Amino acid sequence: MAMDSSAKVIDGKSVAKQIRDEITAEVSRMRESIGVIPGLAVILVGDRKDSATYVRNKKKACESVGINSLEANLPEDSTEEEVLNYIAGYNDDPSVHGILVQLPLPSHMNEQNILNAVRIEKDVDGFHPLNIGRLAMRGREPLFVPCTPKGCIELLHRYNVSIKGKRAVVIGRSNIVGMPAALLLQREDATVSIVHSRTSNPEEIIRQADIIIAAVGQANMVRGSWIKPGAVIIDVGINPVEDPNSPRGYKLVGDVCYEEAIRIASAVTPVPGGVGPMTIAMLLQNTLISAKRVHHFE
């Protein structure tokens, strides 16, 4: 069995580019036929370096497809009320079709109050409890699906990985990635197990997976010996590790040991260049969906 040479790299960066091209075409068709330009508002509180980088990337991505981007940069010591005021302003602003509050928020703020305040019609992150609730229920449809899990499923679809009836294991159960990823896989008729920090024998469970979505935040945690030969691996983790050879002094690695995984899996997403760019593409897609929906534009 030629496991070694058959493993495929799932190129999230190029799929994301393809999706951005599709969005660019739709945005200009919409502008030309009804004169509406989709708008995304991003609220960033504090000056975490990683968050600032992500917000900058989101803004650049908006510009690249012709979506208007608005940005509110609030100081770390802002009050919850100030954040809520910005949300209220964007909720009422008809030029804004999507609102994203960058997470994590400073610890003195109540994340739940803030996420609840975003109008569900503009909840392009899909984090409002009503959207998550609908995602969890059979026969209901959320207005928006969370971007990172949506990007993971989109990669599986675009690489013709069938999900129905397969055993999927999601590692991690966070509100923003693991939990909605498990719900989406279940909606796609996979048989889903969730592994978390209290799981006993995680390796044994992970080894049964035809599809693995890893969203843990632990560099290289999943080893080659934990992987069933031929499994498909979506690695969401983004972990900085020291690297004296890089000009920044660090490099980014996933939650899965890539060098080992590529020898045994049938397909693997790299880090960087895997899920990250897809997250941003899905955010643009959700913003477009929102603008189309309010303006009844097909």
Catalytic residues, by residue number, are 58, 102, 125
Q: What is the DSSP string of 220-245?
A: T-B-GGGS-TT-EEEE---EEEE-TT
Residue type, 248: R
CB of 112 to ligand NDP, least distance (A): 15
Contact, 43 vs 99, CB < 8 A?
yes
Question: What is d(CA 257, CA 87) in angstroms, rounded to the nearest whole number?
Answer: 40
Question: For ligand GUE, which residue of 263, 272, 292, 295 counts as binding (CB under 6 A)?
Answer: 272
**From residue 117 to residue 136, what is the string marking binding to ligand GUE with x (rule CB under 6 A)?**
--------x-----------
In 3D space, the residue among 114, 112, 94 whose CA is nearest the CA of residue 44 turns out to be 114
Question: For ligand GUE, which residue of 36, 37, 103, 120 counts as binding (CB under 6 A)?
Answer: 103
Contact, 143 vs 120, CB < 8 A?
yes
Q: Hunting for tokens 């960087």 — which residue is that?
A: 272
Question: What is d(CA 130, CA 143) in angstroms, rounded to the nearest whole number?
Answer: 9
Question: What is d(CA 227, CA 143) in angstroms, rounded to the nearest whole number?
Answer: 35
Q: Is residue 197 near ligand NDP by the rule CB under 6 A?
A: yes
Interactions with ligand NDP, residue window 131-190 (CB under 6 A): 148, 171-174, 176-178
DSSP lists the bridge partners of residue 170 as: 194, 213
Interactions with ligand GUE, residue window 196-255 (CB under 6 A): 238, 252
Q: Which does 230 bind (CB under 5 to 8 A by kind): ligand NDP, ligand GUE, none?
A: none
Q: What is the DSSP string of 3-32?
A: HHHH-EE--HHHHHHHHHHHHHHHHHHHHH
For ligand NDP, the closer CB: 44 or 171: 171
For ligand NDP, the closer CB: 39 or 276: 276
Q: Is residue 277 near ligand GUE by the rule CB under 6 A?
A: yes
The closest residue (CB) to ligand GUE is 276
Q: Which does 173 bind (CB under 5 to 8 A by kind): ligand NDP, ligand GUE, none?
A: ligand NDP
For ligand GUE, the closer CB: 87 or 147: 147
**Contacts with ligand GUE, residue ranges (CB under 6 A):** 53-54, 57, 100-103, 125, 147-148, 238, 252, 271-273, 276-277, 279-280
